[in-house]
Structure 1
Amino acid sequence: MADETENEEIDDEAVAAEWAAMAGAEDDAPDDDAVAAEWEAMAAGDAEDDDGDGYSGSAPGRVLDQDEIDSLLGFDGEDDGGDSHGIQALINSALVSYERLPMLDIIFDRMVRMMSTSLRNFTSDNIEVSLDNITSVRFGDYLNSIPLPAMLAVFRAEEWDNYGLMTVDSSLIYSIVDVLLGGRRGTAAMRIEGRPYTTIEQTLVERMIAVILKDMSAAFEPLSPTNFTFDRLETNPRFATIARPPNAAVLIKLRIDMEDRGGRLELLYPYATLEPVRELLLQRFMGEKFGRDSIWETHLATELWSADLQLRAVLDEQVMSLRDVMNLQVGQTIQLNVTPQDSLEMRCGEVTLLNARMGRSGQKLAVQVNNVNRLKRAGRKE
C-alpha cells in the first residue's frame, strides 16, 4: 500500500510539471492582438502593391466585384457572337451551331406545308404541323434524353448512303391510332401505361412514317434529289444507334396537332449524313427558288447571244520538232496537206464549232460554211 501511494504521488508530480510546461509555452505564444496586427500589416501591404507583377494577396476582406465574377464565369451579358470564355466556354464546348447550314430552315418550312396536306389526306382530319426549332446536339445526349415509351424509326438516305432517325412520342402514337381507328373527335386519346406497343399500333405508325418520308424526299428534291426509305422501327434507343455518341447531329422538332390531341415528332440527322450536300446547305437566300434566279438566268442568256466571239480558220496542222522550227529561214516554204477543195475547221479556242471552205470575196479571203451540225450540237450541250 505504501508503494502504491508513492507511485501516485510521483505521477501527480509529473502531471503537474507537464501542465506547468504547457502554461509556460502559452505565455511565450503571441497573443491575439499581435496576430491581428500582423494580418492588418499584410492587408495594407497588398493594398499598396502596385508594381504590376500580377500577384494577388490572400488578405481577409478581399471580395470580387460583379464584373470580375461575370468574367470568371463567362457570363458577361454581351452576346456579340465572339468566342466565349471562362466556365461558359466549357459548357458550350459540346455544342455545335447549326447556323452553318441555313438552308435547312427553308427545306423544313417547305416540308411542314407539305406534311399538313398529306397528313390531312392520310387521317381525314384537320391537322396542323408546326416547326418548333432546329438545334444541334450530340447523338449520345439525344438518345439519353428521349422520353420513353416512344417509337424510333431508322430511315436511310439512299443517295447519301447514310441514315437518319425519326422519333414519335407516345402522345402522337395514341392520337394517330385513335384517329385512324375511328376515335371520337374532341376527346384526347387515352394513354395506356405499362404495356408495349401492339402490332396494330406499330403498323399504323409505319404508315404515317412512310407518308412523312415521302414528303421529306419531296422537300429535298429542289436542292438534291434524295430518296428516304424506311429501314426499321425500334422502341429501345440502344437499338437505334446510327452514329457514335459524341458525333454532332442536327435535331428538328415538329409539333402535330389534331384538334384536342396530337404530339411531337423529332428528326435527327447526323452531320455525316448531310455531308454530301453540305455545300448546297451553306447557301443563304430567301424564298423557295433554292439558289435559282430566273431574272438573272434570262439576262445571262441574252448577253451570251450578243457576246463577241473570235474564230480561227485552221487550214492544216503539222507536228515538227523543235530543231526544225529553229532552223527555219526566211523564204522557206512549208507544204500544207490541203487543196482548195478541202474543208477547213473554224475553231474558237480549242473547240471546233463548224466546217467551212476557203474562197475569195472581192479582194479579201473568205470562208463558206458548209456544215453547222457541230455548232448546233455545241449549243445543245451548253
Structure 2
Amino acid sequence: MNKVLTSQEIEAEGASLIDEIIRLSDFTFDRLPMLDIIGERLVENLSVAFPDLTRAMCEAKLTSLDYIPLAQVMESLPAPVLLAVGAGVPFDGEILLVIDRTLLLTAIELMLGGSAKHIDTESTQAFTAIELGFGERLAAAVLAELQRALSVVGRAALELDRVDTDPEAAAIAKNSSLCARMRLSVSMAGHVGLLDVVIPYDALEPIRPDLGKIYFGNRGEDQSTWHDLISGQIERAQMDLEVVLAQEAIPIQKIMSWQPGDTVDFGIEEGEDATMTCADAPMFKVSLGKRNNGFIAVQITEKITDKEEPENDGNDN
C-alpha cells in the first residue's frame, strides 16, 4: 500500500533531494565500475578468510558503493568503532577500514573459541587493549583479501599502518575530500556486523583509468589467486579412508542362519595384502601389520593409478 505524504513531507523530501544534487555537483568525478567488481571479489574472499580466522561460517554481502565526502563518512560513524588505516600499492595515499562493534566482538569471541551468543552489541564502552589487538588481526586479514581482490587491475601490496578509535586520529584526507565507500554486511554466529572500506578518490589516481572500464581478468603478477584459494580449501578438507581386508562370496542361506556369537573366518594373517579406498575408489595397496602397542596398522606399498585395477583373487583385496 502506498504511503500518502503530506504537503510538508513532500516539500521536505524535495528539499533533501535538491541538497543532495547540489552537494554532488560540487565534485567532479566519474563512477568507477571496476570498484563494484573488486567489492564483489572482496566479499567472496572474506567469505573464505573469515571462517579460517574464526572457525565459524561467514556470509558477506556488498550492500552499497557510495561516493561521499570524508566528513559524511566520519559523521555517520557509530561509537565505539574500530578504525584501521592501511596503505600501499596501488593507492596514492591511505585507506580506511571501519569495523563496527558487532563485527569486532563477534570475531573476537569466535577466535577465542566461544559461541558469540551473548555478546553485548549495544554497549558504548570503549574497546580494551586486548580487543584492539584482535582488531588488528581482523583488519590485517581484511587488507590481505582486499589486496587479492585488487589483483584484477594490477599488482597490489597493502599493509596495516595503525588502528584507532578516534575519528580525528584516523583521518586519511581532508573532510571535504570525495571518497568511495564500499559497505559490506558480514553475518557470523547469528550476528550481522558492518565493514566499510573507505578510499579517497585522489588515492585512486594511479589506477583510475583501469577502474573506469570493465575488465574481469587478472593482471599483474598474481595470476593464480583463485587457484591458490581453491587449493587451500582442498588441502584443509578431510576424507574418509577404508581398508578392504577381504572379500568372499557367501550363500545367502548361510548368512541368514548366522546367530550372535558365530565366527566368520576370512583367513587373514599379518602381512596379507589389502586395498585402501576412498569413496569406493581404490587409492593404495597396503600390507596388514601390527604396531608395538598391539594396534592393527597398514603399510602403504603401492599407489594405484587411475588405469590400474586392484587385484582380486576372490579371497582378499
Name the TM-score class by shorter chain. Answer: 0.5 to 0.7
Which runs of structure 2 are paired with 1:21-36 in the superposition (5 Å)? none
Against the structure 1 CA distance between its residues 225 and 119, is the aligned structure 2 distance closer, same or farther, given a 3 Å change threshold? Answer: same
Alpha carbons 1:157, 1:164 under 8 Å: kept = no
- Contiguous gaps of at least 5 residues in structure 2: 1-9, 221-317
Measured in 2, the distance between the counterparts of 1:161 and 1:176 equals 30
Which runs of structure 2 are paired with 1:233-252 in the superposition (5 Å)? 233-252=163-182
Cα displacement (A) at 1:111? 1.2
Against the structure 1 CA distance between its residues 279 and 258, is the aligned structure 2 distance closer, same or farther, given a 3 Å change threshold? Answer: same
Against the structure 1 CA distance between its residues 92 and 124, is the aligned structure 2 distance closer, same or farther, given a 3 Å change threshold? Answer: same
Deviation string, structure 1 residues 155-202 (Cα, Å, up to 9, x no partner)? 1124434100000111111111111112236x2423473532112111
User: What letter corresponds to residue 76 of structure 2 in structure 1?
Assistant: S
1:184 to 100, 115, 139: 115
| More helix as a share of residues | 1
Measured in 2, the distance between the counterparts of 1:91 and 1:115 equals 33
Deviation string, structure 1 residues 221-253 (Cα, Å, up to 9, x no partner)? 131212111011110111111111111000110
Measured in 1, the distance between the counterparts of 2:29 and 2:57 equals 32
Alpha carbons 2:96, 2:198 under 8 Å: kept = yes
2:59 to 122, 128, 144: 128
Q: In the alignment, what sits opposite 1:166?
A: 97
Alpha carbons 2:34, 2:214 under 8 Å: kept = yes
Against the structure 1 CA distance between its residues 74 and 125, is the aligned structure 2 distance closer, same or farther, given a 3 Å change threshold? Answer: closer
CA RMSD of aligned residues (A): 2.7
Measured in 1, the distance between the counterparts of 2:118 and 2:192 equals 8
Alpha carbons 2:152, 2:219 under 8 Å: kept = no
Q: In the alignment, what sits opposite 1:9?
A: none
Deviation string, structure 1 residues 76-111 (Cα, Å, up to 9, x no partner)? xxxxxxxxxx98544312236976201111111111
Measured in 1, the distance between the counterparts of 2:114 and 2:87 equals 33
Q: In the alignment, what sits opposite 1:92?
A: 21
2:152 to 222, 238, 251: 222
Looking at both structures, which has the greater relative contact order when contacts are Cα pairs under 8 Å and sequence separation is at least 6? 2
Alpha carbons 1:188, 1:261 under 8 Å: kept = no
Measured in 2, the distance between the counterparts of 1:290 and 1:97 equals 29
Measured in 1, the distance between the counterparts of 2:95 and 2:160 equals 10
Q: Secondary structure at the match of 1:176?
A: helix
Q: In the alignment, what sits opposite 1:309?
A: none
Q: In the alignment, what sits opposite 2:197?
A: 267
Q: Secondary structure at the match of 2:156?
A: coil
Cα displacement (A) at 1:139? 0.6
Measured in 2, the distance between the counterparts of 1:107 and 1:87 equals 31
Bigger mean CA deviation after superposition, 241-250 or 175-184 = 175-184
Structure 1 residue 104 and structure 2 residue 35: aligned? yes
Against the structure 1 CA distance between its residues 146 and 98, is the aligned structure 2 distance closer, same or farther, given a 3 Å change threshold? Answer: farther
Measured in 1, the distance between the counterparts of 2:29 and 2:193 equals 24
Alpha carbons 2:74, 2:167 under 8 Å: kept = yes
Q: In the alignment, what sits opposite 2:138?
A: 208
Against the structure 1 CA distance between its residues 269 and 230, is the aligned structure 2 distance closer, same or farther, given a 3 Å change threshold? Answer: same
Measured in 1, the distance between the counterparts of 2:19 and 2:190 equals 42
Against the structure 1 CA distance between its residues 194 and 280, is the aligned structure 2 distance closer, same or farther, given a 3 Å change threshold? Answer: closer
Alpha carbons 1:94, 1:138 under 8 Å: kept = no
Q: In the alignment, what sits opposite 2:49?
A: 118
TM-score using structure 1 length = 0.50
Higher radius of gyration, 1 or 2: 1
Q: In the alignment, what sits opposite 2:217?
A: 289
Alpha carbons 1:189, 1:261 under 8 Å: kept = no
Measured in 2, the distance between the counterparts of 1:266 and 1:98 equals 21
1:197 to 123, 127, 136: 127
Q: Secondary structure at the match of 1:237?
A: coil
Against the structure 1 CA distance between its residues 253 and 159, is the aligned structure 2 distance closer, same or farther, given a 3 Å change threshold? Answer: closer
Against the structure 1 CA distance between its residues 284 and 152, is the aligned structure 2 distance closer, same or farther, given a 3 Å change threshold? Answer: same
Q: In the alignment, what sits opposite 1:141?
A: 72
Q: Secondary structure at the match of 2:63?
A: strand
Alpha carbons 1:168, 1:266 under 8 Å: kept = yes
| More strand as a share of residues | 2
Identity across the alignment (%): 26
User: What letter corresponds to residue 93 of structure 1 in structure 2?
Assistant: I
Measured in 1, the distance between the counterparts of 2:41 and 2:91 equals 21
User: What letter corresponds to residue 53 of structure 2 in structure 1?
Assistant: F
User: What letter corresponds to residue 94 of structure 1 in structure 2?
Assistant: R
Deviation string, structure 1 residues 339-361 (Cα, Å, up to 9, x no partner)? xxxxxxxxxxxxxxxxxxxxxxx
Measured in 2, the distance between the counterparts of 1:277 and 1:181 equals 39
